[in-house]
Amino acid sequence: MWRALKRLALILALTAFAAVWAGTGRPGATVFIERPEKVDRQVIRKASEGKTEFLVFLSEQADLSGAGDLAGKAEKGLYAVRALTAAAERAQGPVIEALQALGADFRPFWVANMIWVRGGAEVVNAMAARPDVARVHANPSVRFQQPFPSAAGAAPQSPAAVQWNIARVNAPAVWDAGFTGQGAVVAGQDTGCQWDHPALKRQYRGWNGTSADHDYNWHDAVHSGGDESCPADSPVPCDDYGHGTHTMGTMVGDDGDADRIGMAPGARWIGCRNMDDGVGTPATYAECFQWFIAPTRMDGSGADPAMAPDVINNSWSCTPGEGCEDPNVLLTVVNNVRAAGILTVQSAGNSGAPCETVMDPAAIYGASFTVGATDRSDVIATFSSRGPVTSDGSNRRKPDISAPGVSIRSSFKGGGYSIMSGTSMAAPHVAGLAALLVSANSRLSGQVDLLERISERTAVHLLTSQGCGDDGPTDVPNNVYGWGRIDVHAAYRRAISTGTLQVTLGPSQAVAAGGRWRVDGGRWKVDGQQVSGLAAGGHTVELKIVAGWKTPVVLTAVIEPGRTTRLSAVYARPNPASWLPLLLRDGLR
């Protein structure tokens, strides 16, 4: 008897290391979680109490590496949508069938190959046990880090002036050059936005001066909850919190009466609500990102990547303390948005002065352009989070750049204005900068790497002795300011300067047979020649057809201002005729 009890105790002990038992929510019922290493701890904990929300992340994910070879945002977006939706269609069918059989609630996504699910431990176990499922992520409700309101309360309604923060970064000098953001589209995923605020109405893409059309211009990712002023699935842009109206004002705000609160008052804006009264989830964040890649009509039909914005402002975070235990929960989503040619600007967070406080998605990702906050004197704000990023083990330097974020006056829900502080207030300055650069040079649309480099290399260098990471006192970039505080006019001058393209062809036989190249449909050039005076951004390179040689696909050259871009293009021999293997095989009989 004693030996049998010892043997039973050993079996139970070994089982505890290998798996987890969790309740289904039904009295007396338990379900064996066969692969607990694939499941966030919060999911297991919540599922033991009953039904919970989670994200089933599939093993197959779309390969978007080819998007980098395309010239502009429209081409990149179409490529990304086709690849992402194809991967979802290939992989999700069997998983959805299993979820239907289990009676679970679910909603499929394609921005990453994943499915939102609501179910108990039995459903969690079934998903974790599948070989085509890579991870079961938690989908917690997360309250964003609130900005700091001004002690003075509400701001003056109309001081009829350019705000200090806008003047500090030299935006008016770009307006004087004729570029206020016209031709660019900015987006905000936030607490929503009061579209008819006097400082925002004229800039809303859904307003034509006489009537509003919210198709392709507004999406609500909040499907339950809400209130009377901003119900779930709101058919019109609304803001139940005020934060989103404030951040949008810093991007594009202008009341038409000399009160300029925004960086790019000539740009158009679109919006997506990802928080209900300041509370969002990884699923609502991902849903807004997906909609921005290919905006739709209000009924969800007609997804069109041509309607995507140039830049998205993200003044929110997903903290581990509120359930985002896996720092990579949104990594694939943000990477895919970037591949689609959209710049994602992200606030660094308000976790304060210590090092290693940039620690929450999506600020920690390399694909995010992460922004710290400075004051009137270009000194880092005490609340602004510092790098390096250690929460994901990358030791990545963050933030990437800085902008004013202390005592920022902007629009607020109800039609008025307020003064707030936070990295939430800093990030929209960088989104507005991107809009001004695209306005001045349309070839920068979709060129995320180049938009970031121009912004970084022209920033006002700011030094720190804090010593975060491996920072020295003279290092730029550093883990406090990144590359420094943005300088809009310097970035504009860089964006409109030109570069040179040199193309080499091969092999020599194809060159001798008449191989030539040209850029943007211009004159044919020979091997090794250069073309100067090309605007920064993407340009199309075409190769002349040569008899007996296979011409490469059309190539893209990304021109950097003030530099020579070198591109190699190689002709290939056509594939042997399809009948040749048959002839050889027949000859061997």
What DSSP letter does each residue of 184-209 carry, written as one string? -EEEEEESB--TT-TTTGGGBTTB-S
Instruction: Determine whether 433 is exposed, middle or buried from the number of CB atoms within 10 Å of its CB (0-12, 13-18, 19+).
Output: buried
Tell me how long the chain is.
589
Name which of 308, 285, 204 is nearest 249 in CA terms. Answer: 204
Place of tokens 């002795």: 465
Regarding beta strands 311-314 and 343-347, do their DSSP bridges make them parallel or antiparallel, or are they unpaired?
Answer: parallel
CA quadruple 95, 96, 97, 102: dihedral sign: positive
Q: Write out the two tokens for 538.
A: 């993407």
Whether 424 is catalytic is yes
* Element spanning 425, H or E: helix 423-440
Name which of 546, 440, 421 is nearest 489 in CA terms. Answer: 440
Regarding beta strands 498-506 and 564-570, do their DSSP bridges make them parallel or antiparallel, or are they unpaired?
Answer: parallel
Q: Which of 243, 429, 489, 539 is catalytic?
A: 243
Name which of 444, 390, 361, 342 is nearest 145 in CA terms. Answer: 361
Residue 549 contacts residue 571 (beta carbons within 8 Å): yes
Whether 190 is catalytic is yes
CB atoms within 10 A of CB 416: 17
Q: Which of 40, 48, 137, 190 is catalytic?
A: 190
Q: Which of 384, 418, 421, 424 is catalytic?
A: 424
- Supply angle C-alpha 534, 539, 540, rounded to 5: 135
User: 118 pairs with which residues across the strands?
Assistant: 53, 105
Dihedral Cα 517, 521, 524, 529, nearest 10 deg: -60
> E strands of 284-407, at which residues?
311-314, 343-347, 369-374, 401-404
The amino acid at residue 442 is S
Q: Write out the two tokens for 136.
A: 């079961």
Distances (CA, A) of 550 to 141, 547, 573: 55, 8, 6
Regarding beta strands 343-347 and 369-374, do their DSSP bridges make them parallel or antiparallel, or are they unpaired?
Answer: parallel
What DSSP letter does each residue of 477-534 carry, written as one string? SBTTTBT-B--HHHHHHHHHSEEEEEEEEE-HHHHHTT--EEETT---B-TT-EEEEE
- 3-class DSSP state for residue 279? strand
Indicate which residues carry an active-site annotation.
190, 243, 424
